[in-house]
Amino acid sequence: AITKITARQILDSRGIPTVEVDLCTNKGMYRASAPSGTAIGMYEAVELRDGDKGKFLGKGVSKAVKLINEKISETLIGMDPTLQSQIDQAMIDLDKTENKTELGANAILAVSIAACKAGAAEKEEIMILPIGANNFTEAVQMGSETYHHLKSIISEKYGSTGCNVGDDGGFAPNISSFSEGLDLVKEAIDRAGYNGRIKLAMDVAATDLCIGRKYDLDSKAPNKSGQNFKNGEEMIEMFTKLCSGYPIVSIEQPFDKDDWEHSKLFSALGICQVVGDDLLMSNPKRIGRAIQESACNALLLKINQIGTVTEAIEVVKQAKDAHWGVVISHRSGETDNPFLADLAVGLTTGQIKAGAPCRGERVAKYNQLLRIEEELGGQAVYAGENWRLP
Ligand code: PGA
Ligand code: ZN
């Protein structure tokens, strides 16, 4: 849910004030600002400017900032950030005018974009594993082609705004179920001609769905009827069904971070790789407990959760000694540093997740792997079918 909205006045590229918004949800903070033009058409939405000639030649936006901090924020706090059209409609209703003269299009747009970013960050994530490739170079080609077919499919079905990408480079169309998302990716794999050679994985990030002892699978639905709340057993049933209907080979964080019990029950079924993200927090103690209790069977390694390279290597060893899989993982906030690629090869993890083949900071890791494969030449081994235990 949206927990806080704060606006401020910043400068646009011409040195003229514009509106910037920080929108917070339980997941984090999302920032956006409004652009502005010189030519102003008669029918376009109206920018709210202070008109106080003593400040910024009348171009200040402190009124718009105040409206966001008070009226808009009051209306939107508590709303689900994935419900873009309802958030936008709430602001349009609050404005009540045809051209957005009351609140200002600059105020409304900045909030609207920030909510869009926040909403994209809430979506579950579907990944592909090109394990049928003969080498990494071919795997990148398969991933990239599938990604672009997915873009066309989403554009056809949800319009071009469905192709806006989130932090990890993934698309975030307005889907309402796991199977709706999985169908899209499956169709993209078919169109790219890689049926059978590409498998699927999901990051459920279920800690974010957990309310009490239940999981809210309708976190995007307008009227929360509570109808789509599932308990742990029902979640296990759902994952089992999804794994039989789709070529899913790995599920990350299928339950809450402290729901050891259901993670154990699900892992015991042996249907797919069960990856611990916030269950483990890359923490040796939690990993130790999970190994002991067989609460999952793969480590998601986020190196900044542990803090040094030495300790990162130690937990990878700990996981490997237990015959677990290891996924080297990016964070939603990344830099263009490609180190994770070197780490994945150096530690022979066989698995890395660095996001979609889009956005510089994601692509930096894949490009580094291309270089490493080239440098290793005949000695390079692509994990392929042996991805779990390379
Ligand atoms: P993060 O999670 O947003 O905590 O970096 C990323 C992920 O699990 O894919
Ligand atoms: Zn995760």
User: What pLDDT is recorded for position 274?
Assistant: 98
The ligand 1 atom at the shortest distance from the C-alpha of residue 355 is 9
Tell me what the mean pLDDT of segment 360-383 comes to: 97
What secondary structure, in 3-state letters, does 129-183 show? ECCCCCCHHHHHHHHHHHHHHHHHHHHHHHCHHHHCECCCCCECCCCCCHHHHHH
- Residues of the chain with pLDDT > 70, as a percent, come to 96
With cut-offs at 50, 70 and 90, classify the pLDDT of residue 166.
confident
- Residue 338 CA, chain-centre distance (Å), reads 20
Please check if 203 is assigned to a binding site: yes
Residue range 39-52, pLDDT digits in tens: 766 678 889 999 99
Contact 301, 328 (CB under 8 A): yes
Categorize the per-residue pLDDT at 122 as very low, low, confident or very high, splitting at 50, 70 and 90. low
Atom of ligand 1 nearest to the CA of 302: 5
Catalogue the E-assigned strands of the chain. Answer: 2-11, 17-25, 28-33, 125-129, 199-203, 210-211, 214-216, 229-230, 248-252, 273-276, 298-301, 325-329, 350-353
Q: Is 257 a catalytic residue?
A: no
As a whole number, mean pLDDT of residues 370-382 equals: 97
Give, using CA atoms, the residue closest to atom 6 of ligand 1: 331
- How crowded is the C-beta side of 168, counted as CA atoms within 13 Å? 21
Ligand 2 centroid, distance to 302 Cα (angstroms)? 10
Task: State the Cα angle at 151 between 145 and 153, rounded to 5°.
Answer: 105
- With 60 as the cut, is the pLDDT of residue 223 above it? no
Residue 224 pLDDT greater than 60, yes or no: no
CB distance 65 to 19 below 8 Å? yes
CA of 170 to the centre of ligand 1 (A): 13
Supply the DSSP symbol for 324.
-
User: Looking at residue 225, what is its pLDDT?
Assistant: 58
Report residue 353: phi and psi, to 5°. Answer: -120, 120
Give the pLDDT of residue 219.
64
What is the C-alpha separation between 325 and 274, in angstroms, rounded? 9
pTM flag (> 0.80):
no
Of 167, 168, 218, 259, catalytic: 168
pLDDT digits over 128-161, tens only? 999 999 999 999 999 999 999 999 999 999 988 8
Residue 96 near residue 4, CB atoms below 8 Å = no
The pLDDT confidence band at residue 217, using thresholds 50, 70 and 90, is confident
**281, 288 Cβ separation under 8 angstroms:** no
Alpha carbon nearest to ligand 1 atom 4, residue: 331
Which mutation among 127, 278, 332, 365 tests ligand 1's pocket best, with the greatest number of atoms within 8 A of CB?
Answer: 332
Which ligand sits closest to the CA of 252? 2
| Ligand (nearest to CA of 304) | 1
Pocket-forming residues, ligand 1, beta carbon under 6 Å: 203, 277, 329, 331-332
Q: Which two tokens stand for residue 276?
A: 């611990």
Ligand 1 atom with minimal separation from the 331 CA: 5
Active site annotation includes 50: no
Identify the band that residue 16 occupies on the pLDDT scale cut at 50, 70 and 90: very high
Question: What is the pLDDT averaged over residues 71-76?
Answer: 97
Rounded average pLDDT over 28-47: 84
Beta strands 229-230 and 248-252 are unpaired
For 17, left (φ over 0), alpha (ψ -120 to 50), or beta? Answer: beta
* Interior/surface letters 332-361, b for 16+ CB within 10 angstroms, e for the rest: eebeeebebbbbbbebebbbbbbbbbbbeb
277 is in an annotated binding site: yes
Index of the ligand 1 atom closest to the CA of residue 205: 8
Q: What is the DSSP letter of 299?
A: E
pLDDT at residue 221 in the model: 56
Pocket test for ligand 1, best of 299, 302, 353 (most atoms within 8 A of CB): 302
ipTM of the complex: 0.97
- Cβ-proximal residues to 156 (8 Å cutoff; 6+ apart), any chain: none
Report the pLDDT value the prediction gives residue 91, as an integer from 0 to 100: 96
Any bridge partners for residue 17, and if so which? 11
Ligand 2 centre to CA of 252 (Å) is 6
50 marked among binding-site residues:
no
d(CA 154, CA 141): 20
Query: What is the average per-residue pLDDT within 343-354?
Result: 98
The pLDDT confidence band at residue 226, using thresholds 50, 70 and 90, is: low
The pLDDT value recorded for residue 168 is: 92
- In angstroms, what is the span from residue 129 Cα to ligand 1's centroid? 18
Residue 293 has what pLDDT?
98
Report CA(207)–ligand 2 centroid distance (Å): 9
Residues 6+ apart with CB under 8 A from 85: none
Mean pLDDT of the chain: 93
Q: Let me know: does 128 contact 201? Beta carbons within 8 Å.
A: yes
| pLDDT, tens only, 228-262 | 899 999 999 999 999 999 999 999 999 999 999 99
User: Atom 9 in ligand 1: which residue has the minimum CA distance?
Assistant: 331
**Beta-sheet pairing, 273-276 with 210-211:** unpaired
Q: What is the pLDDT of residue 347?
A: 97
Give the model confidence (pLDDT) of 168-206 as tens digits.
999 988 888 899 999 999 999 999 999 999 999 999 999
pLDDT-wise least confident of 162-176, 209-223, 285-299, 337-351: 209-223
